[in-house]
Amino acid sequence: MTASGVRATARIVARDDGRGGTSLPVLEGDGPLALRRTRGTGSEARVMLVGAMSGPLGGDHFTVEAGVEAGARLRLGSAAATIALPGQAKGEARYDVRLTVADGGELHWLPEQLISAHGSELYVTTRADLAATARLVLREEQVLGRAGEEPGRLSSRLVLRVGGRTVLDQELSCGPGAPGGWDGPAVLGGHRAVGQVIVVRPEFVDEPVAARVLGEGAAVVPLAGPAALVTAVAPDALRLRRVLEEAMTSLG
């Protein structure tokens, strides 16, 4: 911890163990980012991110780095929601997620919701860099404010690269001080929960996903290459999760 906040990094490397399973030669977390291996299924290893402290608070900088090597399979989630809170240190908090998946590897990044509490300021970046035949399921859910409170300032950027090509680079800012219109009909439309799912599968090259509406406030669109994006808004976290789970099931 420094005068400007807490610095913490969690690192995971998943590797094909040559026996039909996945080993974890690197599983390191410090400060508020503790990692626990849980029971996997088949060739898939499972890891849970356990928050050991409150946060991120103002001035904190958290980083999660997960690398999946060729032929390995990893499912990475979190034990509870992440709550961005105001802190004593000045400045915004940062939460960076860095994901890499090699050819033939598969990663499921499925954290619980990120909640932007009143008075907080958080900038989140998620970058996924995949080889041409890698697989990915990525879910992000953001909730603006706890029950009965106004949100903090939340900015998030999501970048996806497949085979060295950028197929998605999107950014959203919400809350006090965000560019005008973020709560208007063209963006959130008064909703307080927003989320997205990215699914990357090599099969989508020959059989691309068709763009379609998935009910009120949700849609799926194909991305360049073997990828599809689901975006959704909802009045609350429970309904957002339901919509995104249904979308993930429909995409296989």
Which segment of 88-97, 108-117, 133-142 scores lowest on mean pLDDT? 88-97
Mean pLDDT, residues 160-172: 95
pLDDT at res. 184 = 63
Q: Which residue has the higher pLDDT, 192 or 252?
A: 192
What's phi and psi for 186, nearest 5 deg?
-80, -10
Q: What is the mean pLDDT of residues 3-26?
A: 92
pTM of the model: 0.91
* Predicted pLDDT of residue 1: 45
pLDDT band at 92 (very low <50, low <70, confident <90, very high): confident
Task: Provide mean pLDDT across the span 92-120.
Answer: 94
For residues 174 and 157, the model is more confident at 157
